[in-house]
Structure 1
Amino acid sequence: MRHRDQPCPPVYPCTAAIARAARPTWADAARARLGAALLALLPLAAAAPATAETTLRAVMHSPLRLTDPHATTAYITAWHGYMIYDTLIAVDGDNALQPQMLEKWDVSEDGKTYTLTLREGLAWHDGQPVTAEDCVASIRRWAAIDAMGQKLLKFTERIEAVDARRLRFVMTQPTDLALRALAKPSTSAPFILPRRVAEQPPGKPITDMTGSGPFKLVEFKPGVKTVYVKNAAYVPRPEPASGLAGGKRVKVDRVEWLVMPDHLTTANALTSGEIDLVEQFPYDLLPMLEGDAGIKVEPATSSPAYSMYRFNFLHPPFNDRKIRQAAMYAIGQEDVMKALVGNPKYWRTCASLWGCGTPMQADAGQDMVVPSNIDKARALLKEAGYDNTPVLMLHATDVASLSPQPVVMAQALRKAGFNVTLAAMDWQSVASRRASRALPADGGWSILNTNMYTADLADPVRTPMAAADGDKAWYGWPDFPQVEALRDQYALSSDPAEQKRIAAELQRVAIDEGLYVPLGQSTPLRAYSSKLSGLPLAPAPVFWGVDKTP
């Protein structure tokens, strides 16, 4: 999963002992810079009283730079959201909807009106009470730009605050879509913000990071570190934590998200005890952890990761369906997964747009998206009259779970006859450039790749990439009315059998159009010190319930 910038030859000979013997520790440089100043402070340090503060230090999959949880689908921003904010409803470990900030919800006899009542005593980090007005403003802000939120608004007559603790949805027809939408997990979740913050447009950066969640943000240095402390005033629900629901009981005083220069440095910092957890440990460095009783390795979340790519439908060559299909035939999932993960224990091919192993799994079009068929791709390019229009692929080189895919994809596309250029940059630059609708030569793009957890894919209305409503759609901006009509049907249905039928038809139509293209499914691994216990297994990496022994 890592960009192959290893200290060892291609036939990996390193052992944990060799790596540890050669490594500099992450803190060495900082200690050296302190020098005489640190020595001068030693008497004071010796005289200072001992503190019982417990600090958990983690390295996440990407540095946190954008903190607005409504403005991006970037996972690191969602993970930040779960630290300082909360949601009205959450999914538990069995994917059932549970009240979170809510005490309860009531449904009218006609199934159109939902009245939601907040728990007593909810407070913002500044001590002010959470109100229904805060919730209404937050929902409106989130729903304006989220794919599932937009569907919710389409079938909502009005959202209003009834009093300080109650808000009401009035739907245009009977549907439980409001509850399903407010429980949306993982990326772009409907976090509740103070009204004064929620009334800012999503394009305006948030500077006020007051939340009501289990942690408070106390330090934010983009690209360096982010520091959270326990919200001592937070009142968790009485139930045990389960998935993203239940009692969020914080057992450490402080959580630091540190940014490190490379993957080997991060691995060394973990084995030396300088950090406690690596959110996504690189598969190719797993041999460093073999035999180390002080380190545990397990799945990072309860949902597998799903790799995919997206065409830009606005510009040539991928405004032509036949050329999109040529690319889809050219790229093979096995080649991508071998480069990304390697060990077959941790990956599988998957044709379903809704993830494999999910209730809506569908397989239409698997002959187009799973194996590589270069001959078929060449034939389609010839039929389409491809004129060597350049294909510009965005290539995030600094995120291990994104870096290998474009390299393998570009090789396959070139074999089929495409004129491909890789635009190498860091992930934050990709996240910015993918929003550009300019021609590829003028700062736009042709193909981008990304990863989602299957928790974000299991519902075709929830899935950001499934929206096909042109300017409102996720990056790439497809415009397919048939897809939107099917998503409307799914949104209004509460019958699992009917939903599965609609999802299967959506799969057929969407694969044929190349709405987004699966590359395979994998299991990201987190590695952490045995001093940690109680790490939740949830759709997101969360830090409540975690204990750390000295």
Structure 2
Amino acid sequence: MTLSRLACLLLAAAPLALSAPARAQAQGQPQGQASPAPGRTLRVAPHADLRTLDPVFASIVITRMHGLMIYETLFAWDSKLRPHPQMVESFSTSEDGLTWSFRLREGLRFHDGQPVTARDVIASLKRWMGRDTVGGKLAEYTAALEASDDRGFSLKLKRPTGMVPFALGSAVGQIPAIMRESDAATDPMKPVTDTIGSGPFRFNRAEWRSGARVVYDRNADYRPRAEPADGLAGGRVVKLDRVEWVIMPDPATAAAALQTGEIDIWEQPGQDLIPVIGRSREVRVERYSSLPNQAMLRPNHLYPPFNDPRARLALAYATDQADFLAAGFGDERWWKRCGSYFVCGGPNGTEAGAAGYAKPDLDTARRLLAESGYKGETLVLTSSYDIAHIGRMAEVAGEALRKIGMNVDVQFADWGTVTTRQANRGPVDQGGWNLFVTTASGATMQSPITNIGTNMACARAWAGWPCDEEAERLRNAVAEARDEAGRMAATEALHRRLAEMQPYRVLGQYDQPYARRANISGVLEAPVMVFWNIEKR
């Protein structure tokens, strides 16, 4: 699309952004209702609508962003992904490394006024361990979780691992959010619908309008840590009265709204619109993460043909990363090819074993597909244009796989429906799926411990449910390595196994900037965008 065409789209969308009565109606705001002063209200266009409220149930980014607004974790990662105490006041480790003892900060309270206790922590951690990749790995080492008093608890291990603070501060996948015991003790296979956390914001359920807006109010009772903010760590000082997520699925409308000041931040602007919005003196385009994100094509390992590793390897030989990345992210300055499951340029960015399919080989792909026993059955690729780059890459996937003889049906729906369907373990005729395209943050994918897609722990794995005992043995070796050399050797061995087993097809990596008005400052470098520390002048 040409810049002149984009400019026309923005002009056409501008009246939508400027119409206050239409905006109030779209957002479900009652006529005449007073709002907080504009200078103390931050309006953000997020990348997707919020449908699932439980950040321990769902691993999708918008739910994680929501979770970090209203919940806290025991530890938190700084901008370099190093863990620091957050809800924890102090901790210690026994000489044999098998017992970790923790004490909560004094004065922690849930939004309903109840104190946060060790019982809440234990129930929350047990639920998280049953849902998340990182939590599941920590569960393998855990012998017991025990409370010593209202603020003290211990984690007893079967064998030593140094990943405990890193895991308890995880900001990827399903986060270890500390909930009330009554919420956390519910069925982990069903999402919690109450939204009572202890974090710096409160969820304003009364003003939540699905498809239009999500509202958060400052938690006046919250006590931040005394340290400076750094990533998700340190003092979560809220400098706003209110944050509103204004749902704007149309990129041209969001771009116009940012330029006119209708919104203050556009969390994930489309790369094709960045040259246009970047020309405005009132707009700044920046990055909030130093690691690039990863794109992937995820197969369902439960059903043919992708229960056979040859069919999954066919995906790698059939696809050219550049085709996907150009369709999804436009200008090549925003993306690069990369064969690493653990992000090129990151601390674990090996490409061991991936050289063979760095370039497409359709004949090899067809041979592998035939050897897997595929007979032309319809394969459902579920996707959404709510996140435009994902929808565009899904179209590319359909075209590429048809060239090797796959009968692919690309089915589009809203993103909430797509993510709900991803959790369905049934066959296609019972609402299941065969493939989807998605993206994940570099913070999530850069480590064998946190990478949700390379967890091959069968039923405990992420959607797609890959299962490989050898890959899991090698992942354990990474977690238990005693030094850097041992960790890197174990990571390379793991990567070679993954290149054979193909839990998903890596589609490359890309940078996702955000855009803000010039009067907004204090956006932190973090795995996802957070809204404490931000000021609006």
TM-score, structure 2 normalization: 0.94
Task: Report how far residue 12 of structure 1 moved.
Answer: 4.2
Between the aligned partners of 1:16 and 1:292, the Cα distance in structure 2 is 12
Between the aligned partners of 1:111 and 1:23, the Cα distance in structure 2 is 60
Task: Report how far residue 433 of structure 1 moved.
Answer: 1.3
CA contact (8 A) 1:346 1:523 kept: yes
Structure 1 partner of 2:204: 218
Structure 1 residues 494 and 214 mapped into 2: Cα distance closer, same or farther (>3 Å)?
farther
Between the aligned partners of 2:386 and 2:35, the Cα distance in structure 1 is 41
Q: Deviations over 1:405-450 (max 9, x none)?
A: 1111111111122222111112111111122222224422111121
Task: Report how far residue 300 of structure 1 moved.
Answer: 3.9
Task: Report how far residue 87 of structure 1 moved.
Answer: 0.9
1:230 aligns with 2:221: no
Match for 1:247 among 220, 230, 235? 235
Q: Deviations over 1:200-222 (max 9, x none)?
A: 22233423211111111113222
Structure 1 residues 362 and 49 mapped into 2: Cα distance closer, same or farther (>3 Å)?
closer
Further displaced range: 413-422 or 381-390: 381-390
Structure 1 partner of 2:314: 326
Gaps of 5+ in 2: none
Task: Report how far residue 159 of structure 1 moved.
Answer: 0.5
Q: CA RMSD in A?
A: 2.3
Match for 2:10 among 8, 19, 24? 19
Q: Percent identity?
A: 38
Structure 1 partner of 2:91: 105
Between the aligned partners of 2:357 and 2:435, the Cα distance in structure 1 is 15
Match for 2:332 among 318, 338, 344? 344
Structure 2 partner of 1:7: none
Task: Report how far residue 479 of structure 1 moved.
Answer: 1.6
2:54 partner SS: coil
CA contact (8 A) 1:16 1:290 kept: no
Q: Deviations over 1:217-256 (max 9, x none)?
A: 1132222211111111111111110111001111111000
Between the aligned partners of 2:355 and 2:204, the Cα distance in structure 1 is 51
Structure 1 partner of 2:535: 547
1:403 partner SS: helix
Amino acid at match of 1:408: V
1:473 aligns with 2:464: no
Structure 1 residues 50 and 223 mapped into 2: Cα distance closer, same or farther (>3 Å)?
closer
Q: Pairwise mapping of residues 130-529 of structure 1 onto structure 2 (< 5 A)?
A: 130-219=116-205, 220-384=208-372, 386-529=374-517
Between the aligned partners of 1:444 and 1:210, the Cα distance in structure 2 is 32
CA contact (8 A) 1:26 1:269 kept: yes
Between the aligned partners of 1:425 and 1:196, the Cα distance in structure 2 is 34
CA contact (8 A) 1:334 1:371 kept: no
Structure 1 residues 195 and 327 mapped into 2: Cα distance closer, same or farther (>3 Å)?
same
Further displaced range: 418-427 or 54-63: 418-427
Q: Deviations over 1:35-87 (max 9, x none)?
A: xxx9x97xxx9xx9995861000011110010011001111000001101111
Q: Deviations over 1:143-173 (max 9, x none)?
A: 1111221121221110011111111011112
Structure 2 partner of 1:5: none
Q: Between Structure 1 and Structure 2, whose CA radius of gyration is higher?
A: 1
Between the aligned partners of 2:23 and 2:486, the Cα distance in structure 1 is 65
Match for 2:58 among 65, 69, 72? 72
Task: Report how far residue 125 of structure 1 moved.
Answer: 1.6
CA contact (8 A) 2:74 2:169 kept: yes
Between the aligned partners of 1:133 and 1:464, the Cα distance in structure 2 is 28
CA contact (8 A) 2:305 2:373 kept: no
Amino acid at match of 2:355: D
Amino acid at match of 1:13: S
CA contact (8 A) 1:369 1:518 kept: no
Between the aligned partners of 1:26 and 1:522, the Cα distance in structure 2 is 29
2:314 partner SS: helix
CA contact (8 A) 2:310 2:368 kept: yes
1:309 partner SS: strand
Instruction: Give aligned pairs, total.
Output: 531
CA contact (8 A) 2:17 2:253 kept: yes
Task: Report how far residue 368 of structure 1 moved.
Answer: 4.4
CA contact (8 A) 1:369 1:517 kept: no
Between the aligned partners of 1:32 and 1:368, the Cα distance in structure 2 is 53
Gaps of 5+ in 1: 1-9
Task: Report how far residue 389 of structure 1 moved.
Answer: 2.3
Between the aligned partners of 1:345 and 1:301, the Cα distance in structure 2 is 16
2:390 partner SS: coil
Further displaced range: 64-73 or 314-323: 314-323
Task: Report how far residue 325 of structure 1 moved.
Answer: 1.6
CA contact (8 A) 1:68 1:202 kept: no
Between the aligned partners of 1:291 and 1:359, the Cα distance in structure 2 is 35
Amino acid at match of 1:124: F
